[in-house]
Structure 1
């Protein structure tokens, strides 16, 4: 018959195996579930307030937050797409009118001076070779048709994958908002850690994710305002629109706000304003681009128990290792490491340093009546979990 120690080892192995299998099954939805957990922690205060306003209807409150999240994602994309399409249509109609009235040579009058001679040579070459150009285009379309079809199929598949992940995130967000408190209580009850330690770690995670989200949105706002100043100084057309686009791209880690400034600088260069284009490019790279690395750690520091330099390298390191989601994973990993060290030092440190040890006077331990057990902060019996604010 197996000994108790052997049976315990086998059972621990089964637990580890089950955890590995669960992680394997859930791995396709990791980004969706992770973002849902982050948003649930960030919106928990709003969810609680809405639930009270709707007389305890937590499902209705969670649904409103999910719909608001969808609108926050789709509204900027829809506005940007509509503006770009309208501008492209207007530009095509304008160029078509010029060609109908003056021919292709009439377009040269609108080309800036530095680009006039190359444009004239290109137009002359186009006119001399236009006879066989259509046949060449047809041949290229025929030979490259399969490659183009594969490219379009890849784009469609990628778009469908992103949409699927967004749907999974919204579903997970809804259930985390509705049942988040019960989930935290269940994790506290089954965790092998001491009572209160699991809740303390989750509270730390919530504070870090909320700080990163708030600092990301605030930094995007600062970059948009800085870019708007540059657009106004260099007289970029439609500066408010470009500032809105800058805010949207500032939220995308792989792109950044400086890209919009460089695109606007190219527009200024193409319209014959080389000095303004150079000024805007320098402004976009130095002021708008670098402000992200300065403002974001300073803002995120307020909600984290970390030095600003640690937050800076955690953000960049997470971005380099995990991609866009690393902006949240990097600080979370560092916060998890520091929280574990803090809890270990407090609860399992050297005997001469632990609170309540005879060698040292008790520190910050509440006095409880005789016969009652002291409960760690953040956890109450009967399944209640106290909220911590950072």
Structure 2
């Protein structure tokens, strides 16, 4: 028979193999499962209260929450997409109709003043007759149907992939809400850590993920509102559309909502409104751009017991390493590291007595003397200022 050491080695190899195979199985839906776990942690309190109101019907409560998440995703995205498609289609039809009826000269005359002058100078330098140019432009407009079809096909494929991830996320969210308590108990029972340490790490994850989501959404809303005020002041066309785009761009720290305001400023400039463009450029840089640096740290510190600089670099580093999902994954990785350091210092540090050593006379046990673990500059408690 095999020795005990050989059996342990074989079993360890089997465990590693099973982990690898599980990773391959989960990999296609990893982002969806991760977002579902984050949302389940954030929405579990709401789920528990709703379940009590529904007299213990946790499946109905989870279904209502998933439906609310679907509406929160589809309504704004669908509205913005429909607006963009309608505007692009109308613009293409206008260009084709104008070229067919009035020619290129008629289309040029309908352009804004600064753009029209530049196009007229460009046409003067082109050694092409107007009739030939009209015919060429009409051929180009009609021949781009295949290119447009391929672009639409690619967009549909990308949308299908996003839709699949969203469906997997919603399914996982439903089961995380209904069976999340049992899952947490199972993880605590099979974890090799000391009792309570696994739950402490998971509570840290829940606190950080909730703080990141709440602060990101609230900050994006404030920036979109500030951008909307600027759009209304200078009377930008379709201000609600640009404000909606600013909201989504504000969720990406590397881009931000200010870029949308600057694009609107450029459109106002080329449409013959230089002073409005200047106002929008200043408004987007000073007001909309700085709101993120003021509001987000104030909101994030309520749930993230970390220094503001650590949160900032965790967001940017996570975004650079993992893409959009890194906005959540970056702070969670930092929180995981700091939680492990805190647990090690509290339960395994040099000042922690060994199980077989008698307690020092006149000294309180570690749990009573330092119930919350060490508090350094990166792990300040709630409400503490740095």
Question: TM-score interval w.r.t. the shorter chain?
Answer: 0.7 to 0.9
Find the aligned partners of 2:137 and 2:93 in 1 and give their Cα distance. Answer: 23
User: Residues 132-151 of structure 1 correspond to what in structure 2 (within 5 A)?
Assistant: 132-133=135-136, 137=140, 145=146, 151=151
Other-structure match for 2:359: 357
1:295 aligns with 2:298: no
**Between 19-28 and 7-16, the greater mean CA deviation after superposition:** 7-16
Task: Give 1:317 deviation, angstroms.
Answer: 0.6
CA contact (8 A) 1:35 1:169 kept: yes
Find the aligned partners of 2:328 and 2:317 in 1 and give their Cα distance. Answer: 11
User: Residues 59-78 of structure 1 correspond to what in structure 2 (within 5 A)?
Assistant: 59-78=59-78
Task: Report the TM-score when normalising by structure 2.
Answer: 0.82
Other-structure match for 1:184: 184
CA contact (8 A) 2:113 2:271 kept: no
> Once the two structures are superposed, what CA deviation does each residue of 1:294-321 show, in whole Å capped at 9, x if it has no partner?
4323321221121111111111111111
Other-structure match for 1:339: 339
Other structure's SS at 2:302 match: helix
Structure 1 moving runs of 4+ over 4 Å: 85-110, 121-126, 138-142, 147-152, 252-255, 351-356
1:304 aligns with 2:304: yes
CA contact (8 A) 2:96 2:138 kept: no
Task: Give 1:140 deviation, angstroms.
Answer: 6.1
Find the aligned partners of 1:197 and 1:241 in 2 and give their Cα distance. Answer: 47
Find the aligned partners of 1:224 and 1:126 in 2 and give their Cα distance. Answer: 47
Find the aligned partners of 2:116 and 2:166 in 1 and give their Cα distance. Answer: 48
Task: Give 1:219 deviation, angstroms.
Answer: 0.8
User: Residues 252-267 of structure 1 correspond to what in structure 2 (within 5 A)?
Assistant: 252=252, 255-267=255-267
Find the aligned partners of 2:297 and 2:207 in 1 and give their Cα distance. Answer: 15
Find the aligned partners of 2:179 and 2:225 in 1 and give their Cα distance. Answer: 39
Summarize the Cα distance change of 1:265–1:10 in structure 2 as closer, same or farther, 3 Å threshold. Answer: same
CA contact (8 A) 2:352 2:366 kept: no
CA contact (8 A) 1:254 1:324 kept: no
Other structure's SS at 1:303 match: coil
Other-structure match for 1:41: 41
Summarize the Cα distance change of 1:162–1:101 in structure 2 as closer, same or farther, 3 Å threshold. Answer: closer
Task: Give 1:150 deviation, angstroms.
Answer: 5.4
Task: Report the TM-score when normalising by structure 1.
Answer: 0.82
CA contact (8 A) 2:103 2:134 kept: no
CA contact (8 A) 2:318 2:331 kept: yes
Other-structure match for 1:128: 131
**Between 38-47 and 247-256, the greater mean CA deviation after superposition:** 247-256
Summarize the Cα distance change of 1:73–1:353 in structure 2 as closer, same or farther, 3 Å threshold. Answer: same
1:4 aligns with 2:4: yes
1:235 aligns with 2:238: no
**Between 189-198 and 238-247, the greater mean CA deviation after superposition:** 238-247
Summarize the Cα distance change of 1:60–1:22 in structure 2 as closer, same or farther, 3 Å threshold. Answer: same
> Once the two structures are superposed, what CA deviation does each residue of 1:101-131 show, in whole Å capped at 9, x if it has no partner?
9876565555443333334456786733246
Summarize the Cα distance change of 1:139–1:36 in structure 2 as closer, same or farther, 3 Å threshold. Answer: closer
Other structure's SS at 2:305 match: coil
**Between 87-96 and 43-52, the greater mean CA deviation after superposition:** 87-96
Summarize the Cα distance change of 1:89–1:23 in structure 2 as closer, same or farther, 3 Å threshold. Answer: closer
Summarize the Cα distance change of 1:134–1:21 in structure 2 as closer, same or farther, 3 Å threshold. Answer: same
CA contact (8 A) 1:111 1:119 kept: no
Task: Give 1:197 deviation, angstroms.
Answer: 0.9
Find the aligned partners of 1:109 and 1:149 in 2 and give their Cα distance. Answer: 30
Summarize the Cα distance change of 1:2–1:297 in structure 2 as closer, same or farther, 3 Å threshold. Answer: farther
Q: Which runs of 5+ in 1 are unaligned?
A: 367-375, 378-388
Other structure's SS at 1:192 match: coil
Other-structure match for 1:271: 271
The root-mean-square deviation of aligned C-alpha atoms, in Å, is 3.4
**Between 79-88 and 317-326, the greater mean CA deviation after superposition:** 79-88
Find the aligned partners of 1:151 and 1:159 in 2 and give their Cα distance. Answer: 12
Q: Which runs of 5+ in 2 are unaligned?
A: 373-381
